[in-house]
Structure 1
Amino acid sequence: MEFKITDRALQWFKDEVQVESGQTVRFYPQIYGDSPVQEGMSLAFGFEDAVDIEVSVEHNGVTYFIEESDMWFFKGHDLHVDYDEAEDMLTFEYK
């Protein structure tokens, strides 16, 4: 699985949630919402310690990751995280 985070999204994390070096940000499935890969579920993120990282991206000392136990959510798709300036929100593209 390919996991990418654009520079715009990284800047959003820095500006909006004050992510700092040494922190870890987990992307995980949550009940409610919809996504192109799972009906009734969407993707969320939180500041959590890693247990069993499957894929990760490190930038300026921050590790963004997905746990092995959450890989079922993606159904073999890659995840690209971006920031939409017009909507002022993160976007998730599943390829």
Structure 2
Amino acid sequence: MKISITQPAVKWFIDELELSTGDFVRFFARYGGSGGVHKGFSLGISNKDQPNDPAMKIEEQGITFFVEKSDSWYFDDKDFNIKYSRKFDEVEFVIE
């Protein structure tokens, strides 16, 4: 299980969340929403949390993107890839 992010996706996060070097972006399982791996859950995003016990993390352009071990169940031991869609001007989450 690993995390990856494309450079266009990093830029999208920096612009959309107004991130600076040293900031963090956490991905977590949240109850509700749609389009998730597990029925009734979806992927949440927070830029207020620092890593405590990360299962996956990657640093790009001074920003740390991570998933805590407590949320790793959501990914079913699969890789988590974050990409940018020019067509929709948004990020896409691919779990495979």
The share of aligned pairs that are identical, in percent, is 33
Structure 1: 4+ residue segments shifted above 6 A = none
Instruction: Provide the C-alpha distance between the structure 1 equivalents of 2:20 and 2:37, rounded to a whole number of angstroms.
Output: 30
Q: Which consecutive unaligned segments of at least 5 residues does structure 2 have?
A: none
Code of the residue aligned with 1:9 in structure 2: it is: A
Instruction: Provide the C-alpha distance between the structure 2 equivalents of 1:30 and 1:40, rounded to a whole number of angstroms.
Output: 9
Counterparts of residues 38-77 of structure 1 (less than 5 Å) = 38-47=38-47, 48-77=49-78
Q: Please name the residue that 1:15 is paired with.
A: 15
Structure 1 residues 16-66: Cα deviation after superposition (integer angstroms, max 9, x where no partner): 111111111111011112335211111121111111111101012211101
Instruction: Provide the C-alpha distance between the structure 1 equivalents of 2:34 and 2:79, rounded to a whole number of angstroms.
Output: 17
Q: Structure 2 length normalisation: TM-score?
A: 0.90
Instruction: Provide the C-alpha distance between the structure 1 equivalents of 2:12 and 2:26, rounded to a whole number of angstroms.
Output: 16
Q: Please name the residue that 1:30 is paired with.
A: 30
Compute the RMSD of aligned alpha carbons: 1.2
State whether residues 22 and 62 of structure 1, in contact with CA within 8 Å, keep that contact through their aligned partners in structure 2. yes
Q: Please name the residue that 1:79 is paired with.
A: 80
Code of the residue aligned with 2:21 in structure 1: it is: S
Equivalenced residues, count: 95
